[in-house]
Amino acid sequence: MAQIKIYGIEKRLNLIKRELSDTIHRCIVEALEFPENKRSHRFIPLAPEDIYYPAGRTHDYIIIEIVMMEGRKKETKKRLIQLLYERIRKEVRLSASDIEICILEQPAYHFGFRGMTGDEMLLDYKVEV
């Protein structure tokens, strides 16, 4: 289980939503060994006055939050971050300085889906990768 939230300035984010979602999804599938049909992305477009970002960033600035069940190795999470930077720069044409990524992990029992908690579910993918 991984849920992705992407924050950015509305005007720019809306132009790249599909391309960005496709790129992020390919990285998740590869790094976390997720099935193709497990995409859960939410775009949070913000008015320019609703986001303050560090100096040296542009209006292309985005924040990617990935919430997932704990259990992946440090190397797996680092590989995911590396893939995201590499492919978003190449495929979506955003600068690395305009991309911030945060992975938030929670115990499986903190998730609820299909009427059960995550630790009760029989998943069709591995968490310990």
Which pLDDT value is given to residue 57? 96
Tokens coding 87? 């492919």
- Say which residues have a Cβ less than 8 Å from residue 100's Cβ, sequence separation at least 6: 61, 62, 63, 64
Cβ atoms of 30 and 81 closer than 8 Å: no
Q: Write the pLDDT tens digit of every residue in 94-121.
A: 999 999 999 999 887 887 777 877 767 6
Specify the pTM.
0.90
Tokens coding 74? 């440090």
Cβ atoms of 67 and 3 closer than 8 Å: yes
Q: Which domains does the chain have, with CATH numbers?
A: 2-120 (3.30.429.10)
pLDDT of 129 higher than 80: no
Q: Write the pLDDT tens digit of every residue in 38-71.
A: 899 999 999 999 999 999 999 999 999 999 989 9
Which pLDDT value is given to residue 123? 67
